[in-house]
């Protein structure tokens, strides 16, 4: 007899009272068959869990062994065991990167090779501890703990890996390159914007270096005498605080240049004390 489970369902049914009919909600229970057990998935999940437990045991064992080795030359035992923890964490981290690249075999090659190198160093350190302790054979056996954990994880990853065919892999690479290009352009546009703002602020500050005047246009030359120049408006589109913040964000920190920039874009008659006070406040809050 197939296994079943009870589920609650609902449906609309007509219900009539005094000749008036409405659709009402009728809730009822129904037994539905359960799908057969997916033993492949259960076994793979069990093996993955066992590999995780073995990985933790490998970290504990290697850390204890290598930490004892390093403690011979390091006065602080905590530092020795913290450094010993690195040996197994490196190759386990490479295994994690290999897992992330399970759909791209080319990207998985580098973390796989780096993991083997890190594993060899960790096993060598464990074996060295046994040799120094006078038990070289036991040290060699102890070193195989990390090796067995690595082998098991490699087999598990091979079962989880889903290699793509050549055409699909090329399509994925093209989409990844397109997304990466858009992401890179965000940083490039931000950099270009900062550079353009710095150039604009520098030009505005330099244009008022001699007399704080705005450059004349051809129309202004024909309408005003040569010895007169047009002064900037007393009020600009920016407040004094905004102008100071803009100058600082563009890399202008010299008080005199900041003052000229504020007079150029905010208030031509602003007092120097006001600008300096605002500049100090902005630097404190930065």
Tell me the pLDDT tens digit for each residue of 126-156. Answer: 889 889 888 888 888 888 888 888 888 888 8
* Residue 144 resides in a domain: yes
Residue 5 lies in a domain: no
Position 15 in a domain = no
pLDDT at 212 over 80: no
In the block, tokens 């007092």 appear at 271
Pick the last residue of a domain from 160, 195, 221. Answer: 160
DSSP structure class, residue 15: E
* Same domain, yes or no: 227 and 279: yes
- Cα 251 versus chain centre, distance: 28
Domains of the chain: total: 2
The band of 259, judged by pLDDT with boundaries at 50, 70 and 90, is confident
Same domain, 72 and 140: yes
In this prediction, residue 222 carries a pLDDT of 43
Domain of residue 270 covers: 203-285
Residue 96: beta bridge partners?
none
Q: Is the pLDDT of residue 211 over 50?
A: no
Can you tell me the distance from the alpha carbon of 136 to that of 52, in angstroms, rounded to the nearest whole number?
28
Residues 125, 58 contacting (CB under 8 angstroms): no
The answer on 156 and 43 residing in a single domain is yes
**Three-state secondary-structure class, residue 286:** coil
Most confident of 170-184, 203-217, 242-256: 170-184
Residue 105 near residue 163 (C-beta atoms within 8 A): yes
Question: How far is residue 149's CA from residue 165's CA, in Å, rounded to a whole number?
Answer: 30
Q: Is residue 121 part of a domain?
A: yes
In a domain, 26, yes or no: no
Least confident of 33-37, 116-120, 206-210, 243-247: 206-210
pLDDT tens digit sequence for 24-71: 999 999 888 888 888 888 888 899 899 889 889 988 988 888 888 888
Q: Is residue 274 part of a domain?
A: yes
Q: What is the DSSP code (8-state) at residue 235? A: S
Query: Would you call 143 exposed, middle or buried from its count of C-beta atoms within 10 A (0-12, 13-18, 19+)?
Result: buried
């Amino acid at each position: 007899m197939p296994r079943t489970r009870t589920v609650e369902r609902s449906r609309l049914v007509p219900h009539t009272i005094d000749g008036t009919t409405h659709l009402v909600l009728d809730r009822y229970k129904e037994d539905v068959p359960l799908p057969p057990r997916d033993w492949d998935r259960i076994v793979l999940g069990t093996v993955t869990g066992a590999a995780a437990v073995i990985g933790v045991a490998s970290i504990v064992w290697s850390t204890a062994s290598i930490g004892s080795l390093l403690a011979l030359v390091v006065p602080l035992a905590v530092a020795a065991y913290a450094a010993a923890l690195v040996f197994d964490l490196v190759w386990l981290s490479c295994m994690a990167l290999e897992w992330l690249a399970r759909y791209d075999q080319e990207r998985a090659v580098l973390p796989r090779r780096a993991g083997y190198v890190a594993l060899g160093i960790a096993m060598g350190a464990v074996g060295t501890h046994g040799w120094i302790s006078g038990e070289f054979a036991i040290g060699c056996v102890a070193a195989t703990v990390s090796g067995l954990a690595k082998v098991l994880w490699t087999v598990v990853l091979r079962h989880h890996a889903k290699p793509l065919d050549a055409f699909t892999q090329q399509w994925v690479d093209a989409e990844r390159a397109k997304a990466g290009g858009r992401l890179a352009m965000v940083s490039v546009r931000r950099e270009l914007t900062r550079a353009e703002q710095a150039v604009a602020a520098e030009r505005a500050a330099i244009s008022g270096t001699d007399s704080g005047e705005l450059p004349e246009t051809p129309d202004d030359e024909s309408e005003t005498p040569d010895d007169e120049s047009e002064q900037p408006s007393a009020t600009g589109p920016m407040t004094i605080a905004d102008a100071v913040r803009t100058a600082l964000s563009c890399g202008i920190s010299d008080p005199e240049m900041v003052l000229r920039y504020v007079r150029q874009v905010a208030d031509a008659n602003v007092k120097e004390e006001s600008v300096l006070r605002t500049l100090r406040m902005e630097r404190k809050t930065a």
